[in-house]
Amino acid sequence: MAEEPQVIYVLRIIFEIIWMILRLNLEIIKALFRVVVPQDRKDVTGDIVLVTGAGHGMGREIATRFGKLGAKVVCVDINSKGNEETVSLIKKNKGEAYAYICDVTDRAAVMQLAEKVEKDVGQVDILVNNAGIMPCKPVLKQTEKEIRATMEINVNGNLWMIQAFLPAMLDRNSGHIVAMSSMAGKMGLRNLVPYCGSKYAVRGIMESLAVELHEDPRNTNGIKFTTICPYIVNTGLCHNPRIRFEAVMKTVDPGDAADQIVDAVLREYHEITIPSDMYYSNKVFNLFPPSAGMILTDFIGTGLDPHE
């Protein structure tokens, strides 16, 4: 094959640069437009929504809201009692729900779960990877068991669920994967070193998964991704929140957080923070050098004190 003439190569690169700039500007305009005019909420009536960690806290709040919207909710938790309570709440509100017990750290069990759910209920349309734990103490006081459990549940649990449910989404080019990261996945916080690491990992998983599917030769445009980064939500995990300016940075009510999470999924947002203004304030914070960031952190005085 003859080598491409240098002048043709240069012209081709110039054309690609111009085309890239035009496409970038179009996407920026579309994003700005969506800030003013949000995307319409999609209808999930009859869709199968699977929520891990559905037996309590945010998982329960999210599951019950999807139930009210007419979705078939698959509640997954390792705690059978709490999980059944969530299912009962959904059914009490005329919703349709199913309970499955599964340890998301057990890959074989997760694969069996996927087969059973598809057989019993159908193929999952929306996967909400919510299950997680949050040991809160200085890193040198966290036990090996606590650190391993944090990584197994918060990180590997996401990966096993993706491996189990993504193939069917790829086959039909349709689906939505939702991951619960945290503001602790955007900034480091005292007493949460392993937890922060796990939530940074969740964001990395979601970002790289989106890139991987974008570069897949198959058409994968029908598969959506949403990463949720909440601030301190009053679900019981945060026993000792420390907030200097409570009027500005108060803890978030679980119900309010769940409303924003479900809304983000229905509008197919790529990533949100709760509260929403933290999305932009965090970007500004990251413009500062690390030493200046520490000064801001000291002034804001927000975080979590250790607890057992």
Which residues does the annotation mark as catalytic?
195
DSSP 8-class letter at 40? P
Tell me which amino acid residue 195 is: Y
Q: Both tokens of residue 7?
A: 């002048």
- The β-bridge partners of 77 are 101
3-state secondary structure of 250: coil
Q: Could you write out the three-class secondary structure of 60-126? A: HHHHHHHHHCCCEEEEEECCHHHHHHHHHHHHHCCCEEEEEECCCCCHHHHHHHHHHHHHHCCCCCE
Quickly tell me which residue has 């159908």 as its tokens: 122
Quickly tell me which residue has 């990261």 as its tokens: 181
Structural element, H or E, at residue 22: helix 6-36
Q: Count CA within 13 A, CB hemisphere, residue 218.
A: 12
